[in-house]
Amino acid sequence: MPQAKKARAVGFNHVALEVGDIEEALAFYGRLFDFTLRGKSADMAFIDLGDQFLALQKGRRQAADDGRHFGLVVDDKEAVRHALTEAGVEPLPGRFLDFRDPWGNRIEIVGYDNIQFTKAANVLRAMGLAHLQKNENALMELAEKGMKP
């Protein structure tokens, strides 16, 4: 019997984080990042990431994340490091810039220049980030896959 065709995963539309309080979460993330609020209700908020978004949902009940995390891509990793210090948030030990938010969500900060992930030129333009460039290593990884911009 022939195997059915499988769908191919092509990316993320959004990541959802459970937090204790929507207003507190928006204030916390607002101390770390410059963002546009896509929408908000009493139990949800949506932070715009161009063609993607970060959803904050009221109702965190589980213990703090250990290894489970997601990598949030930023235009300036060092600015986030500085903002974490200013906000009194201690980065987690290790070679990456990871931290936990007040509800235990673990987030790794990743610089856009240093990874394969690439926003389309029209999305970067609309976000006011058309100036972002990839470093040599990221360009080499993209070229190896036939994806060099």
Query: In a structure prediction context, what are the per-residue pLDDT tens digits for the chain, which is 149 residues long?
Result: 778 899 888 889 999 999 999 999 999 999 999 999 999 999 999 999 999 999 999 999 999 999 999 999 999 999 999 999 999 999 999 999 999 999 999 999 999 999 999 999 999 999 999 999 999 999 999 999 999 87
| pLDDT score at 48 | 96
- Listed in sequence order, the residues at least 6 apart from 8 whose beta carbon sits closer than 8 Å to its beta carbon are none
Burial of 52 (0-12, 13-18, 19+ CB in 10 A): middle
- The token pair at 70 is 């997601």
| pLDDT score at 107 | 97
Q: Are strands 44-48 and 36-40 parallel, antiparallel or unpaired?
A: antiparallel
Token match 């022939």: residue? 2
- The token pair at 33 is 């990042």
Please tell me the pTM assigned to this model. 0.90
- 84-87 long-range contacts, CB within 8 A, separation 24+: 84/32, 86/31, 87/28, 87/31, 87/32
Domains, the chain, with CATH or none: 14-60+68-144 (3.10.180.10)
| pLDDT score at 1 | 73
